[in-house]
């Protein structure tokens, strides 16, 4: 008997979507909600723990979305939620690739995130994707392109929740500083700090998928002052940043901020103080590397 024309459906299979309540739509919806919780969990781990903890959970998300793409496309009513989460997972993968200096892979991932955001048509997700691409452009030395992309992201953020605007303005201030534009750097970072009061302290409540902190904005301010030749202002921020880092338990940034202090003191000719700050960075970074026992995500 030729079976090629028979439908791919077994009425006795209890796990076939058509045999589940609501033809499986309720299960798909619940799975997306669970995935959203896991995204929030990964970002919290990224902020507070050695990187391998975040990697392990991210790999779970990657397997889930690979299964969705290959075997179980979302029903039309859940497509927007699915695309939004897919963009969030792509963002996480790009950030992790940057962590391991896989910059070419990260750019490709962020380009995919932008394509997902374009399909979704959500200003917040588009702004976030553009911001990620702009940061990589700046890293590659294309500062003018980075400014243009971030200014476009800022314009999109006018249609988005305030936490997205805080995120975009923070990175825009960084690029202005990299270009030596002290006035626009200061104004834009001031805007980011004002908007930063709307950032969610509890990542489990961050439905906008920003996962950014007030200490991150302060760190861009610290970096920016160095770029525009004002190292004393960087050092004046040390106490405020240290308190905010402790308040938010932002251990990842706590490692790197010591480099700003070392650089500022070097610019001021305070060599012994600069060496001590560099030792502090080395001590913190060495501990972080000691805790890291996992293989990085492949590029």
pLDDT of residue 143: 94
Other C-beta atoms closer than 10 Å to the C-beta of 201 total 10
pLDDT of residue 134: 97
pLDDT in tens, 64-109: 999 999 988 888 999 999 999 999 999 999 999 998 899 999 999 9
What does the alpha-carbon distance between residue 86 and residue 77 come to, in Å, rounded to a whole number? 16
Question: Smallest Cα–Cα separation from 257: which of 225, 293, 299?
Answer: 225
pLDDT of residue 54: 87
pLDDT of residue 56: 87
Element (H, E) at 33: helix 25-48
Other C-beta atoms closer than 10 Å to the C-beta of 161 total 15
DSSP 199: S
Asked if residue 65 lies in contact with residue 86, where contact means CB atoms within 8 angstroms, the answer is: yes
pLDDT < 70 positions in the chain: 1-25, 287-299
pLDDT of residue 53: 78
| Residue partners of 168: CB distance under 8 A and separation at least 6 | 127, 128, 131, 150, 153, 154, 157
What does the alpha-carbon distance between residue 287 and residue 59 come to, in Å, rounded to a whole number? 24
pLDDT of residue 288: 59
pLDDT of residue 207: 86
pLDDT in tens, 49-66: 777 778 889 999 999 999
pLDDT of residue 284: 83
pLDDT of residue 286: 78
Question: Smallest Cα–Cα separation from 163: which of 136, 125, 117, 134?
Answer: 125
Other C-beta atoms closer than 10 Å to the C-beta of 149 total 23
What does the alpha-carbon distance between residue 42 and residue 51 come to, in Å, rounded to a whole number? 10
pLDDT of residue 146: 97
């Amino acid at each position: 008997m030729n079976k090629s024309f028979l439908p791919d459906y077994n009425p006795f299979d209890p796990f076939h979507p058509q045999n589940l309540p609501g033809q499986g739509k309720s299960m798909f919806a619940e799975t997306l909600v669970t995935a959203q919780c896991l995204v929030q969990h990964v970002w919290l781990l990224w902020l507070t723990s050695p990187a391998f903890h975040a990697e392990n959970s991210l790999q779970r998300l990657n397997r889930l979305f690979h299964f969705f793409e290959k075997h179980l496309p979302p029903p039309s009513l859940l497509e927007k939620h699915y695309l939004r989460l897919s963009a969030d997972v792509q963002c996480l993968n790009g950030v992790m690739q940057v962590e391991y200096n896989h910059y070419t892979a990260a750019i490709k991932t962020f380009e995919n995130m932008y394509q997902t955001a374009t399909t979704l048509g959500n200003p917040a997700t588009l702004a976030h994707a553009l911001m990620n691409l702009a940061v990589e452009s700046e890293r590659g030395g294309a500062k003018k392109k980075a400014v243009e992309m971030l200014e476009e992201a800022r314009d999109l953020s006018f249609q988005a929740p305030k936490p997205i605007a805080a995120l975009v303005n923070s990175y825009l201030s960084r690029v202005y500083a990299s270009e030596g534009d002290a006035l626009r750097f200061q104004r834009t970072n001031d805007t980011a700090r004002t908007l930063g009061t709307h950032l969610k302290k509890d990542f489990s409540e961050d439905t906008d998928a920003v996962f950014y902190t007030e200490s991150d904005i302060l760190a861009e301010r610290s970096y920016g002052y160095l770029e525009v030749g004002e190292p004393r202002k960087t050092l004046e921020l040390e106490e405020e940043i240290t308190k905010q880092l402790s308040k938010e338990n932002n251990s990842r940034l706590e490692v790197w901020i010591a480099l700003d202090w070392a650089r500022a003191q070097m610019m001021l000719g305070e060599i012994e103080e600069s060496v001590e700050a560099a030792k502090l960075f080395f001590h913190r970074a060495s501990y972080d590397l000691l805790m890291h026992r996992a293989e990085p995500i492949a590029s």
